[in-house]
Amino acid sequence: MVQPRIQRKLVSVVVADVVGFSRLTELDEEGTHARLGALQRDLIKPKINEHHGRIIKNTGDGALLEFASVVDAVRCAVEIQREMIDRNADFPEDRRIVFRIGINLGDVIVEPDDIHGDGVNVAARLEGLAEPGGVCISGTAHDQVRDRLPYFFAEKGEQTVKNISRPVRVYSLGANAIAALPASPPSVGNQSPWRHWSNSWLAAAAGTAAVLVVAAGLWLGFKPAKEPSPAGAVPLSIVVLPFANLSGDPAQDYLADAITEELTTALSRSKGTFVIARSTAFTYKGKPIDVKQIGKDLGVRYALEGSAQPSNTKVRVTAQFIDAETGAHLWADQFDVDRSNLLEMQDEIVLRLSRALSFQFLVAGIARGDRAPPGNLDAQDLAMRCAADIYRGRWATAASLCVRALQIDPRNVPALNISAFLIIFPVILAQSEDPLAATRQADELISRALAIDPNDDHARVVKAWVLMAQNRHEEAIVEAERGLTLSPSNVDAYMAIGVANNFLCRPERVFEAVDKAIRLSPRDPYLGGFYEAKAEAYFVMHQDANTIEWIQRSAILQSVDPYARLMLASAFALSGQQAKAGEAIKAYLADSRTKSRTISQFQTQQLAMADNPRWLAYNSRFAEGLRKAGLPD
């Protein structure tokens, strides 16, 4: 008799289990059963469906799931764990329902209503290794998500687990790391899954210069979805992808970059839109574009892309508006403009886009008539090159370009903004050779910029940094919020708010601001800086392990700045890791940016910027760690 052939397939296996289920049922059997049922109905099943998974079976206090994609599986697991933090907030600790989740990518035996094999067994063992509220994944799963999701899984090495003959590479995302993530949008009932999140975000955008509304009977067939697209995108969410430079001259890239940035700013002024920050959008520059994948990665419904072809006096610009869910081109147009009229051309693109899609822009304030025009085209050209270098991390080159721009046109606002920022930022890091003189110079430059154009969002944010250096942190927050009113996608404003709240020792507000920045710009080239702000908030809370973890996350993305190196050294020393603390001090002293070479030099700059009691205690503890780490007094 011929045996039926065993069916196998490669899948992402998820095993989830309730921690301490027997204890919970003993405390309140009926209540625990009812709450678990409600969680399955209102959170777990909708999340599984949203991320294209399938429930193989429920096991009373756990579940076995499969997903075709590891990315979907991990994203689903993390979002469930993040949502559980909020859902447990009103319950005593001993009554909370907490999950452990394990995920493996493996080959399994398929039956009509079940799956078997080592692929399942490994996932079950990973679930047992996960900390309560956390997620553990195998090395095979980690290889698939490492560059695709903004989660930092700590490597736990090879683990020997029960009934598996070979060691398993294990990676862990702990409960604290998940708690630091932005709250994920719930998937409940008939309410739009983005409703709660978008209401809080749009509150920050109140008073923007333009309002976007969807007209009835759109001839293109577009209408706001009651449910999100498969990407989980907001119906009016968009990314402006880097415009291509068609001149054949790489030196002209800055012009296409400037058009991209101005379009991002113009669209973000429209209430009802969620616009991905320019800094994340530019990570796609020069790469093959798969709009559907980008839409899924960033959680947006639409993409605007195009090109710029500059000549001596004119620029030909093309723009296309694309549905990121289907890849369909909804609108395209071409513009030929004088280089001196780029601002007007950018507004015209936004207005033509609104008409073509039957969107209605209330245009009061969206046009740039109230904004100061560049006094000199050559200076404006240099300022745009300067801005491009800032985003590429070439700060020294940017500074020299801004100096040249201001020599030609002392009223050039972008050049004033960037010059002031480059002067004030070392002060914020307690690494200025003369902080008082630097603060005065930066204040003079940014005051000039705001006198010329009080509606420039970048100038407002730089002013916030200057106010921080002057120990005026509440005023700095107000100034950064003004920047957000002018441009709600300005991630630098959220970062400034986060840092100001660190000076005020209000870590919960730091997390709120920085997480908004990360949502707006999940692939930001300065994402490491966001992580450092969170690390400092944890240091304020005396959570040294979390401080170390977030600085180490930052180090994966970028060169750690001197201030963060000192914080790392102090946290290592305070947690008893003397050897690592000494290594961090050596790296700090070897850094070419280091100016404060003793504890007293560092503290003098730090204490000049804040004098509230909690900051004084923070500084005292910081210095204690530095002494233990070996930094000279």
> Of 196 and 561, which is predicted with more confidence?
561
Q: 374-400: per-residue pLDDT in tens?
A: 556 578 768 777 777 776 677 888 888
Confidence of residue 441 (pLDDT cuts 50, 70, 90): very high
**CA distances to 40, 293, 512, 563, 608 from 472, in Å:** 48, 44, 20, 20, 11
Give residue limits of the domains in the chain: 8-179, 195-370, 376-475
Domain 195-370 maps to which CATH number in 1.20.140.10, 3.40.50.620, 3.40.800.10, 3.40.50.10610? Answer: 3.40.50.10610
Within 13 Å and on the Cβ side, how many CA atoms surround 219?
6
* Least reliable range by pLDDT among 202-206, 236-240, 356-360, 443-447: 202-206
Q: What pLDDT, on a 0 to 100 scale, did the predictor assign at position 194?
A: 27
Q: 567-581: per-residue pLDDT in tens?
A: 999 999 999 999 999
Q: 237-281: per-residue pLDDT in tens?
A: 789 899 888 888 888 888 788 878 877 877 776 655 678 888 888
Instruction: Give the integer Cα–Cα distance in Å for 175 and 336.
Output: 54
> Of 341 and 457, which is predicted with more confidence?
457
Q: 13-60: per-residue pLDDT in tens?
A: 999 999 988 888 888 888 888 889 889 988 999 999 999 999 999 877
Q: Which CATH class is domain 8-179?
A: alpha beta
Judge whether 8-179 and 195-370 match in fold.
no
Using a 10 angstrom Cβ sphere, with 0-12 exposed, 13-18 middle and 19 or more buried, the burial of residue 441 is middle
Is the pLDDT assigned to residue 227 strictly greater than 50?
A: no
**CA distances to 393, 444, 600 from 397, in Å:** 9, 22, 32
Confidence of residue 423 (pLDDT cuts 50, 70, 90): very high
Is the pLDDT assigned to residue 348 strictly greater than 50?
A: yes
Two tokens at 34?
């009812």
Q: 323-340: per-residue pLDDT in tens?
A: 788 887 766 777 777 776
Enclosing H/E stretch for 485: helix 473-486
> Of 176 and 549, which is predicted with more confidence?
549
Q: What pLDDT, on a 0 to 100 scale, did the predictor assign at position 351?
A: 52
> Of 572 and 289, which is predicted with more confidence?
572
Residues 6+ apart with CB under 8 A from 305: 240, 241, 243, 289, 291, 319, 320, 322
CATH superfamily of 376-475: Tetratricopeptide repeat domain (1.25.40.10)
Confidence of residue 498 (pLDDT cuts 50, 70, 90): very high
Is the pLDDT assigned to residue 557 strictly greater than 90?
A: no
Two tokens at 367?
């046009």
Q: 444-492: per-residue pLDDT in tens?
A: 999 999 999 998 889 999 999 999 999 999 999 999 999 988 888 788 9
314-323 and 300-310: which strand pairing? antiparallel
In a 3-state reduction of DSSP, which class is residue 477? helix
* Least reliable range by pLDDT among 107-116, 366-375, 435-444: 366-375
Residues 6+ apart with CB under 8 A from 554: 528, 529, 531, 532, 535, 560, 564
pTM of the shown model: 0.53
> Of 110 and 313, which is predicted with more confidence?
110
Residues 6+ apart with CB under 8 A from 357: 218, 220, 222, 321, 330, 331
Q: What pLDDT, on a 0 to 100 scale, did the predictor assign at position 308?
A: 84
Confidence of residue 149 (pLDDT cuts 50, 70, 90): confident
Q: Which 8-state DSSP code applies to residue 438? A: H
Q: Do the Cβ atoms of 311 and 246 come closer than 8 Å?
A: no
Average pLDDT over residues 580-595: 92
Average pLDDT over residues 356-373: 37
The pLDDT > 90 percentage for the chain reads 40
Q: 502-522: per-residue pLDDT in tens?
A: 999 999 999 999 998 988 888
* Least reliable range by pLDDT among 231-240, 353-362, 486-495: 353-362
